[in-house]
Amino acid sequence: MAASNLLLLNGPNLNLLGEREPEVYGTTTLLQLETLVTARAQELGATVRAYQSNHEGALIDKLHEARKWSQGVIFNPGAYTHYSYALRDAISSVPKLRVVEVHLSNLLEREPFRHLSVIADVVAHRIMGKGIAGYLEAVEWLLKH
């Protein structure tokens, strides 16, 4: 079944989008990002619930809850990407949810510790280095697959 109820999940430090290292992450705020993603999803006939947390367990709770109402997740786990086996296990624990891993920056062109994603092989799709456009591409991907 194509996804039609999407969860937009952003992890640590992404609440500061727009002011945090704008040369890396751009000047769009989290609220603007959430608004853009919601609008794109609505155009394509889907709904979005957006959530951001700086806490690993809160992100895990949202993934678990989402299995009851959502078919697809657009997930930027921030730095947890590189070391959170708990988030990796959470994604594997909800196999009906298709998760698209999104990063604003291109991890492979940054510090070596960012090259590793411990969730890469449990997500359905990955998009990085495209800024905000990557989130919109994730919506489109979820609604097509």
Amino acid at 76: N
**Cβ proximity to ligand DQA, 2 vs 19, nearer residue:** 19
**Cβ proximity to ligand DQA, 22 vs 95, nearer residue:** 22
Pick one of 81, 100, 127, 141: the residue that binds ligand DQA (CB under 6 A).
81
| Residue 82: active-site member | no
> Is residue 91 within 8 Å of 68, Cβ to Cβ?
no
- Which residues lie closer than 8 Å to 144 by C-beta, 6 or more apart? 2
130: Cα separation from own chain's centroid: 13
| Residue 25: active-site member | yes
When asked if residue 76 is in the footprint of ligand DQA (CB under 6 A), the reply is yes
When asked if residue 120 is in the footprint of ligand DQA (CB under 6 A), the reply is no
Instruction: Tell me the C-alpha distance between 110 and 35, whole Å.
Output: 28
> Is residue 121 within 8 Å of 90, Cβ to Cβ?
no
* Contact set for ligand DQA, span 16-75 (CB under 6 A): none
Residue numbers of the site for ligand DQA (CB under 6 A)?
A: 13, 76, 78-79, 81, 103-105, 107, 114
